[in-house]
Structure 1
Amino acid sequence: MGEKFDVIVIGAGPGGYVAAIKAAKSGLRTAIVENRRVGGTCLNRGCIPAKAMIHASSVYKEMQEGGRFGVAASDVSYDYGKIVAYKEETTDKLCQGIEQLLKANAVTLLSGKGTLEKGKVVRVAGEEGEESYEAENVILAAGSKPLILPIPGLDLPGVLTSDELFQLEERPESLVIIGGGVISVEFASVYANLGCKVTIVEAMPRLIPNMDKEISQNLKMILKKRGIDIHTSAAVQRVEQEEDGQYTCVFIEKEKEVRVSAQYVLCAVGRYPNTDGLFGDNVELDMERGRVVVDDEFRTSMEGVYAIGDLVKGMQLAHLASAQGVYVAERIAGKESSIDVHTVPGCVYTDPEIASVGVTEDEAKEQGIAVKTGKFIMSANGKSLITKEERGFVKVIVEADTDVVIGAQMMCARATDMIGELVTAVVNRLTAQQLLKGMRAHPTYNEGVAEALEDAVGEAIHVMPKKKR
């Protein structure tokens, strides 16, 4: 038996490494187990590499469209290999930073596959053999893996997950994406910007169906304008490999069979908890649909064992996993929680960006909450006019009787950066008037937030007055 720790974390993704560092800062003897590179899916195969690809493709698109600003550039091109290298460089720097943080905070990094055994023992199987370690507390943060639906043909070599798409050394000529969620629309934006013919096939009636309906409608129009074919309410039946090496996605749309062929098919229908090898033979935690069941404190059915991130029910987001890691580490250390893990911003890094928090207007109605809404169309925003942004808006939802902000939805430039202000407002139950006390600089995209807040309380200056009924 190896060393004994106060806390052992299995998984060094955004939930795990944050939990480990937070525990160590509280004076707890902490170890973290990881069988791949630290940073997890987010840094190595998800958020960061995807956003790097988005940025690179956006730069290329902006250079092509420079004539809108009187800047002409001829023979604009890109080197896909160098874009991939830039993506890898970005990932490498962040992973190295995490390794240094773990070391600086005296967190012991155990390299190998971590398995939870009875008695809060963690077995680590690495290249040099196996070793077991005892812990007073164990935090399970093993993350997730791409979900593959039981559809004929998804095991063909040209059907990729997001992990495999990142490994391509050449840009696809054409791509069919199964799924219309966040992963799908972000990859569609990247490859359409780079000249790839992209088709999205989504089973639900609209794209990103968990977000505000107006956002979904606007996004569909923008993506179609950029040459992306979109099929919603489309049920995929199978994928076939053609004699010419192409792959055909066969789906039913409006009761008719439709066939779309491409060089590759991307399966982007979500992710599934990564519990492979996580539990020993005699360990049986309460599970529900493949997820670890936890209570409000993220405690599992085994005493002293917690689970966070993509392993548990809820949104699969890196920042949510990190917040849950902080919460659990603080509770283990006997401290009050410093973070609200229930108010979660959602972000989509398309162009324009999309961000939301709290409830939508429709959700408020469903819950019987009387609300007022404020909306500002960003085509009237000075900064948006300067940068010639696509159609966009900022919408806020406030309680009708108190003016407390309970939700916000944005579709505009820098939305993912600006949503933080509204998250703070929702968490702290701030009113529209309290937020409006802070002066906003001009010209900025953030002025749109103030305009929407003013519209909600009937004080908007740059919004046409609402007609009285």
Structure 2
Amino acid sequence: MEKYDLIVIGGGPGGYEAAAEAAAEYKMKVALVENRELGGTCLNRGCIPTKALLHSAELYRELKLHGEALGLTAVGDGGIDMSRLHARKDEVVDQLVTGVTGLMKKNKVKVYRGLGTIVDKGRVDVALSDGSSESLEAEHILIATGSVPSVPPIPGANSPKVFTSDEMLELDHPIKSLIVIGGGVIGCEFASVFSSLGVEVTIIEALPRIIANLDKEISRSLTQILKKSRGIDIHTDAMVTEIKEAGEQVTCCYKEKDEICEATADLVLMSIGRRANTAGLFSDATSPDVAGMEMNRGMVVVNENYQTSVPGIYAIGDVIGGIQLAHVATAEGRCAIAHMNDAPAPCDVKTIPSCIYTDPEIASVGMSADEAKEAGIPVVSKKYSMGANGKSVLSLQERGFIKIIADKDSHKVLGAQMMCARATDMISQFSQAIVCGLTLEDMARTIYPHPTFSEGIGEALK
């Protein structure tokens, strides 16, 4: 039985980053168990492939809409080669997976390709992909098995014309129409991809607004842009009741304002969220102590140090619920590894930036004005319209803004909401300001280069 200091189950950004840090920083002997590709959902079926598709789709849309204004003309007939578009996406993924593989080798992390099952405290059995098996021992176990797309019990949801986000990323032939069930981050990003490729898109969202977890102004602005600029049909407060095949197409029945409605398209994308992935994590051979690990609605319960109810076993990322983002899993993994080694937490996991890669991009961190009001915190709000930003004008950007929330008395930055080009790159300035306790005046001392999108931050601070 091979012995290690740490066994990590799951090779996504939470798992592989934790494995590398444990080996490099703390000189731990580490094993990483992964039953699919290294990089997990984010690299293979989420963040990276969707953004690669978005990049291609946005370039196509921009040339089609603004090519003449920019002095550019397409050579030949133009159009979309879906197979080549997906080949490019796969090339990007393969390059980054190769990088993760190299990172594991560099840090001497032993990778086991197979399904890891926790048999007892400090013991994991691995059913290897070649049909053999191995038993591993370690002082610590880190569960980082992530999540899988959630499919609700809607009649007809098992139709072959109903895709999850995983399956949608493998679609290599053109479609004319798409229904997206769910107006959250995943749904809006896919709606942006396909609308940019000329597909008729309908979004059906059960909540009163799309991306309901973000600032209301951002939700309203995105709704207007998706409707007016993209031609996307958006239905909110709408509950899907049935999905049925209609010849070569599929019909989605939904209830909106007490009225039964229907929408028909070539495919349906089910994007109502994700659920914790614990398949195969335990078995009939698992000891009673481990099998009795505290769970909550299918998610592993942990304390503030990411320890489960079983001594020596930690868990991070989507499998514990909370904010399901790759950078959150990475931060949690780093903190869990630090705790195993009696070291202080290396990062602030309370300040989490959120990013949506629509056009324009959306990013937020910290409190919104409404959240501050609910918490009884008096605030001052600063806002700048990006319509006056030189870089936005010259690059033909759509409407956008930067909004900053600060404590009324101390002027310490409490939060920021951005809807503009490169918002996802610039939000880290506000994350840093919140973590470091910077004031509006502290941030305003910075000189922002011209012409840049980040100039908008300087203007908002004035």
TM-score w.r.t. the length of structure 1 is: 0.95
Alignment partners' CA distance in 2, 1:254 and 1:119: 53
Alignment partners' CA distance in 2, 1:305 and 1:293: 11
Once the two structures are TM-superposed, the CA of residue 279 in structure 1 deviates from its matched residue by 1.6
Partner SS, residue 211 of structure 2: coil
Once the two structures are TM-superposed, the CA of residue 166 in structure 1 deviates from its matched residue by 1.2
Once the two structures are TM-superposed, the CA of residue 63 in structure 1 deviates from its matched residue by 1.2
Partner of 1:106: 108
Counting matched residue pairs gives: 452
Q: Which amino acid aligns with 2:126?
A: V
Of 93, 96, 107, which aligns to 1:94?
A: 96
Partner SS, residue 358 of structure 2: coil
Partner of 1:68: 69
Query: Does structure 1 residue 11 correspond to structure 2 residue 10?
Result: yes
Query: Does structure 1 residue 261 correspond to structure 2 residue 276?
Result: no
CA offsets 1:75-116 (integer angstroms, 9 cap, x no match) = 331211000000000000000000000000000001100111
Query: Does structure 1 residue 178 correspond to structure 2 residue 181?
Result: yes
Once the two structures are TM-superposed, the CA of residue 34 in structure 1 deviates from its matched residue by 0.4
Matching of residues 142-153 of structure 1 within 5 Å: 142-153=145-156
8 Å contact kept, 2:9–2:32: yes
Q: Which amino acid aligns with 2:82?
A: Y
Once the two structures are TM-superposed, the CA of residue 171 in structure 1 deviates from its matched residue by 2.2
Query: Does structure 1 residue 217 correspond to structure 2 residue 220?
Result: yes
Alignment partners' CA distance in 2, 1:106 and 1:340: 28
Partner of 1:20: 19
Alignment partners' CA distance in 2, 1:412 and 1:182: 16
Alignment partners' CA distance in 2, 1:119 and 1:354: 43
Of 190, 194, 206, which aligns to 1:203?
A: 206
Partner SS, residue 68 of structure 1: coil
Once the two structures are TM-superposed, the CA of residue 292 in structure 1 deviates from its matched residue by 0.5
TM-score w.r.t. the length of structure 2 is: 0.97
Of 361, 364, 369, which aligns to 1:356?
A: 364
Partner of 1:465: none
Alignment partners' CA distance in 2, 1:31 and 1:332: 15
Q: Which amino acid aligns with 2:376?
A: G
Matching of residues 399-410 of structure 1 within 5 Å: 399-410=407-418
Identity of aligned residues (%): 49
Once the two structures are TM-superposed, the CA of residue 451 in structure 1 deviates from its matched residue by 1.5
Once the two structures are TM-superposed, the CA of residue 70 in structure 1 deviates from its matched residue by 3.1
Matching of residues 46-445 of structure 1 within 5 Å: 46-64=46-64, 65-73=66-74, 75-126=77-128, 127-225=130-228, 226-242=230-246, 244-281=247-284, 282=287, 283-445=291-453
CA offsets 1:317-337 (integer angstroms, 9 cap, x no match) = 001001111111122122212
Q: Which runs of 5+ in 1 are unaligned?
A: 455-469
Alignment partners' CA distance in 2, 1:300 and 1:160: 34
Which contiguous aligned blocks of 4+ residues in structure 1 show a shift greater than 2 angstroms?
68-76
Q: Which amino acid aligns with 2:85?
A: I
Alignment partners' CA distance in 1, 2:431 and 2:241: 40
Once the two structures are TM-superposed, the CA of residue 338 in structure 1 deviates from its matched residue by 1.4
Partner SS, residue 429 of structure 2: helix
Partner SS, residue 68 of structure 2: helix
8 Å contact kept, 1:18–1:322: yes
Partner SS, residue 375 of structure 1: strand
Partner SS, residue 252 of structure 1: strand
Once the two structures are TM-superposed, the CA of residue 193 in structure 1 deviates from its matched residue by 0.6
Alignment partners' CA distance in 2, 1:406 and 1:119: 42
CA offsets 1:385-416 (integer angstroms, 9 cap, x no match) = 11121000000000000000010000000000
Alignment partners' CA distance in 2, 1:349 and 1:422: 18
Alignment partners' CA distance in 1, 2:159 and 2:70: 46
Alignment partners' CA distance in 2, 1:238 and 1:169: 27
CA offsets 1:166-188 (integer angstroms, 9 cap, x no match) = 12220222110000000001000
Alignment partners' CA distance in 2, 1:114 and 1:294: 20
CA offsets 1:250-271 (integer angstroms, 9 cap, x no match) = 0011111110001111100000
Partner SS, residue 222 of structure 1: helix
The root-mean-square deviation of aligned C-alpha atoms, in Å, is 0.9
Once the two structures are TM-superposed, the CA of residue 214 in structure 1 deviates from its matched residue by 0.4
8 Å contact kept, 1:22–1:330: no
Once the two structures are TM-superposed, the CA of residue 21 in structure 1 deviates from its matched residue by 0.3
8 Å contact kept, 2:121–2:312: no
Q: Which moved more, 1:167-176 or 1:371-380?
A: 167-176
Q: Which runs of 5+ in 2 are unaligned?
A: none
8 Å contact kept, 2:3–2:137: yes
Once the two structures are TM-superposed, the CA of residue 229 in structure 1 deviates from its matched residue by 0.6
Partner of 2:45: 45
8 Å contact kept, 1:122–1:132: yes
Alignment partners' CA distance in 2, 1:370 and 1:389: 33
Of 446, 451, 459, which aligns to 1:451?
A: 459
Once the two structures are TM-superposed, the CA of residue 342 in structure 1 deviates from its matched residue by 1.3
8 Å contact kept, 2:365–2:430: yes
CA offsets 1:336-395 (integer angstroms, 9 cap, x no match) = 121111110000000000000001000000000010000000001111111121000000
